[in-house]
Homo-oligomer: A and B are copies of this chain.
Amino acid sequence: MTGRPTLAVVGATGAVGTVLLGILSQRADVWGEIRLFASPRSAGRKLTVRGEETEVVALTEDARAAGVFDGVDIALFDVPDEVAARWVPVAAAAGAVVVDNSGAFRADPDVPLVVPEVNAHAVRRRPRSVVASPHCTTLTMIVALGALHAEFGLRELVVSSYQAVSDAGQEGVRALRRQLSLVAGTELGTGPGDVRRAVGDDTGPFAEPVALNVVPWAGALCDEGWSSEEMALREETRRILGLPRLPVAVTCVRVPVVTTHSLTVHARFEDEVTVDRAREILATAPGVVLCDDPASGEFPTPADAVGTDPAWVGRVRRALDDPTALELFVCGDNLRKGAALNLAQIAELVAAGPE
């Protein structure tokens, strides 16, 4: 790539796309032309990037034939899995390196799964010209965990999630806001099924009402009762950390938070750990903010972390009954580091070229 690389953003109108345009706007001197794509529903919409109004192009056969990907150096995809599966190879065939945020390629051994703070080196081997960004739940914890792993050697993980609704896109956010309007100002939440009756059948992209509720389900059904997001967290963590047999137990739970995932993490390491050393590592790890002083009411919450870039880590404790294990509570904005920011970081790594 000579000069400033040309960028395509596919899914520019979505929850992730919107945040991505904001992030790209703050990096004025990195990219050349930026082209925006979405579905035919958004054709002709104008969005602002780096202060300029830019028209959204519909991703269609005609557009492809007209060469909309010609000259694109890097394409960032933020679209549903099936759309990515169809169009990522098209953009790659047109010569772009694609950085994909969907689940379509994350398990492909020929597609590196990259978190720049943890395994930047992996971005170099990309035989399909595709790089995948992990699922937002994995991204919530992986930067902090990677830093601890580098020193202590991870041996086992038990994770529970508190996942925000925006990881189901704009539709998820609309569902929660609609439900909140129905339950606020009422006495609901104390009788069997009262919230469900108030919310009605329209629970949006979720299996159950999320207002005044928590829902222990995220993704599709896999074998033996596991959900796809639980399986993904296990597989992606293993790939990114290079620990193909790491035992990972996880339960994914949806909570009525708009944006920012939280996770409790019980992490067992090779040898004894100390909280002091763990804190030092976390306090200096790039992309991590240590927020951990319960005596003065300091611990991370989504309300603090939302809209910010780093993973916020707190409640750092050594397990009372196991000197090799740590407990953590981690919050991270699922649209920023959990999606758009990681994409932008990977794109910059790719643009920087081999070194």
Give residues in A with beta carbon < 8 Å to B: 158, 160, 162, 166, 177, 180-181, 183-185, 188-196, 207-209, 212-217, 221, 224-227, 234, 245-249, 251, 253, 255-259, 262, 264, 266, 275, 292, 294-295, 297, 299-308, 314-322, 325, 327, 329
Contacts and interface: CB of A to CB of B under 8 A. Distances in A.
Contact of A266 (B158, B191, B262): B158
Given A251-B329, A325-B249, A216 B184 contact: no
Contacts of A264: 160, 216, 251, 253
A329 B207 CA distance: 16
Nearest to A179: B184
24 contacts: A162-B162, A162-B253, A166-B190, A180-B184, A189-B259, A189-B302, A190-B259, A192-B304, A193-B303, A194-B306, A207-B299, A209-B303, A212-B302, A213-B301, A213-B302, A214-B257, A215-B299, A217-B297, A221-B295, A225-B275, A225-B317, A247-B319, A248-B320, A255-B256
Contacts of A189: 257-259, 302-303, 306
A157 to B, nearest CB: 10
A303 to B, nearest CB: 4
Contact of A225 (B225, B262, B292): B292
Contact of A224 (B227, B234, B275, B329): B275
B301 A208 contact: yes
Contact of A306 (B181, B185, B191, B316): B191
Report how many copies the assembly holds.
Answer: 2
List of 6 A-B pairs having minimum Cβ-Cβ separation, nearest first: A189-B258, A184-B184, A247-B321, A160-B160, A192-B307, A216-B329
A266 B294 contact: no
Contact of A249 (B213, B249, B266, B302): B266
A267 to B, nearest CB: 10
Contacts of A191: 306-307
Contacts of A185: 177, 180-181, 184
Contacts of A248: 320-321
Contacts of A329: 216, 251, 253
A189 B192 CA distance: 28
Contacts of A215: 299, 301
A257 B213 contact: yes
A249 B323 CA distance: 12
